[in-house]
Chain A
Amino acid sequence: MSKVTLHVDGRTIEVPAATNLLQALLEKGIDLPYFCWHPALGSVGACRQCAVQQLKDENDKNGRVVMACMTPCADNLHLSLDHPEAAEMRKAVVEFLMTNHPHDCPVCEEGGHCHLQDMTVMTGHNYRRYNFAKRTHRNQDLGPFIGHEMNRCISCYRCVRYYRDYAGGKDLDAFGSASNVYFGRASDGALESEFSGNLVEVCPTGVFTDKPYGESYTRKWDLQQSPSICGSCSIGCNLTVGERYGSVKRIENRYHGEINGYFICDRGRYGYQFTNDAARPRRARAKNGEVLTADAAVARAAALFKSGRVLGIGSPRASLEANHALRELVGAGNFFRGESKSCGELNTLGVEILSKGPARIASIHDAETADAVLVLGEDVLNTGARLALALRQSVRQEAFKMAAHANIPLWQDSSIRILAQDAKSPLYIATPAATGLDEIATRTFRDTPARIAALAQQIVHMLDSTAAPAAGLGEADTGLAREIAEALKQAERPLIVSGTGCGSAAVMQAAANVCTALAKAGKTPQISLVFPDSNSVGTTLMGGGTLDDLVHTVQSSKLEAVIVLENDLLRHMTRQAADNLLALVPHLTVIDCVATSATEQANLLLPAGSFAESDGTLVNNEGRAQRYFQTLVPKDCDIQESWRWIQQIARACGRDFGDDLDALTAACAAAHPKLAGIVNAAPNAKFRISGLKIPRQSHRYSGRTAMDAKADVHEPRPPQDRDTPLAFSMEGARNNLPAAEIPIFWAPRWNSPQSVTRFQQEINGPLKGGDPGVRLLAPDANARPAYHAAAMTENPGLCVTPLHHLFGSEALSARGAALQTKIPAAYVGLSPATAQKLKLSEGIKAEFEAAGVSMILPVRLKPELADSLVGLPVGLKGVPAIAPGTALKFIGIVA
């Protein structure tokens, strides 16, 4: 990247040429206030806050005021931030904004992490000369996630630029004009975007606030926070979790340059509420409801091993440490991955495709910059939402190309959008049902997984004529395949997106084949696969039989007990199958953080910590091991990390699994060569900065001694954290933190999420010290694996296809009150033609039978669904877990 020299108030700095003054100065750690600019949204020049004086040369004392965000960096530019004209302008702009902004900071949720507060202080504006009435607005009910207080608005236009331009939302807009601009919906109602929660962080003041946080509010500086990883899908977005009084209060985006950047989805932001549920299992107990002491419970579990064979069921949503501990406890041969055969096979295939090459594994950031994308089978918006937001940005590559051609700098957001209008780079989506990205797709293809695989095979044939063409494709589909192959060939950074979502090995294999064909054609293909759970890749790398193997073992051999780790069996098998299984199990021990069908039947229940109450390592869909850190230590209950329960059981059995996280992480890494890298996911518990741990509490944390005074006036000793370098304390090291272990993003004068620029190597680049996590998979770019055609058994009749819902298909997030308002009622999805054939219509209750299970569900018409498919929404209450592709029979209409 070429550099230029700037002269700023006597300082000489080197900055990248291809940027604007504001970004360059911020990157250098120079404080310059701004509002409308956002690192992910670019410059538009609306707020006029970032005024600096541009001087002709070193002798020029006058110069002129320019807006830093709209001025390109040029070599030998002389600037002054201290110049009285520029300083007066910056102060005046805040004074203008304050003519209408209320003085409600003391009762405003934004207070203390408000960018407007920070900028006001930064400009020095402290006395308002405006002494007239302020304009007022009526606020709207924007649904369960977002609070609305328009009177605080400073009209920076960031909300609509983010919501509409960046995230593709349609139901938030700017209305009115002059000093009466209104940002809201046409009428009250829940915001429709899956990414609405980011408004909370995008808004520089308290117009859009986190509603659940506001309903149980704590000042930012009073939160105890920890770095976390989202457990709601396989993408592994980085989060910051905040706690007070024993409850998780909010989740904020935690910047990761390769994954989530500045934005997360609403499932990730609001999916934490289950952890605050008072009805969660908190005490160890036996089946008859008998409450046990933790020690007694551990002793009972340990006793099982004395008398016979114990099987363990792991979990794709539990940490590697927990899974590994269980595997060690029961023995590798007795350990089963907590997923069905069909799911396990898909995960294994996915990991194999990623590991083998030749495709590079695309991060979210790579996906954003891909200039041609082919989606095969995956409804990305509902299975890996953050990736869908990235694909929305990928189609802008065409606009950036046009801008480069027209000499418009890439940060000139509005100019690029004007130039490009609706021009988009290629995005092809081939899925069984309509997706939320269709509106930005170049073309879509709707058919069964087998036909999607056939389309992909034809694309392979177009790219590599030695590969066989697909049989049975019509002229239109062959043409589409040719068009897609051409687009991928023309691209510099082609990306293939697929995953386990449509439940088809054929589709995933076809995605791999396209990558191989692209590599053979001289391209550098990238691949992104979406997996079902937050640790699917990790547990797949660990290995073990599936639940189907477990059923077989239970049926064929004598055993003493089964231990279920953080797993709701009904997510992976039908109730009938689960009941049949458990009937054969003499003793069931369940370690989980929520009540499930398994905990109901457990002979022994050990309450486990949720993500907020434990530490551990997860491996995301790119094979990146990431560590999440405990936010709080639950009080007055038996809740502890699931792996700690297992460590204690092991000890009671006379075995030593250690007594902290690091022991298990190291053991897991040693036992599984493919997981060897996980010890480097984050510095371990021994890590210190100048001998100090990293505090989870801010330096302004208040009420520490009063918090528990209603019960005990003595200040309790804070919990000790022997698992990580973080401390449940206000005291410790706050500077030069390792990127994976930053609990609080804060810098002097930067109290809002905007402080992130102080932690980045360059704006929008990696965090200082490198983005967190370790990539475990190293695909070989030179590999040219043979084309596999996974068996395509097309069912002659109707068969099941899974339909995913961002809100509802994931088990834990779906338990939260805010999210629940967004979850659709159970249904069965049919194409209009199939519905007509079966004499069904929208809303009619119909009975179907599949895999020996009967289900009665109301019909929802899915106009683009293939006629032979019956869509079953994944994870919705009342919808059985039936393997994709299972034949399904229509029984009749239910009156």
Chain B
Amino acid sequence: MESLIACHECDLIHRVHPLAEGTVARCSRCGAVLYRHKRNSLDRTLAMTIAGLILFVLANSFPFLSMKIQAQVQESTLFTGIKELYAQGMWQVALLVLLTTILVPLIQLLSLLYVLLPIKFNRKPWKLALVFRFVQRLQPWSMMEVFMLGILVSIVKLAGMASMVPGISLFAFLVLIFVLAASAASLDPHLIWEQVEFKR
């Protein structure tokens, strides 16, 4: 039974075959991706996670956008907008933005580091199954790339009334999005689950 897998989208049972590197196994009935063999999954994901954490600190420490009207300059970090929304009584929206652009990406990066680093050194992290299950649950709620699109739209919106100056954070942010995408793309969940010992 070890070598069988059921499609998560249509429940059809398939035999698991070893795949060549970089190839994908799809469900024969509905076409869903069953599993992949990713090149160097563990090392790549670990590298991207560490790079992501550094960029995350940079992206949150400096202003990402400043607006200039005549002599007045208004700087903004990621957190300014959340604080301002909260001050205006929009705590629901403030909470949503805080979760999807700061807390969830940070928790995800930290948990991935917690899972991957010990595995890299052949140790099993404590409560691995619980933490990794949590990481996968959080995945859809990390929306940094959507926030980037929001920044671009805002720049165009405000360009007419003031000159916009990009800050250090904006560049860190831009790179962070690609690093996060690369980390998600190189992670092979089956590799992590194989680390979990269990009794049938």
A binds B: no
Chain A residues close to B by CB (< 8 Å): none
Chain B residues close to A by CB (< 8 Å): none
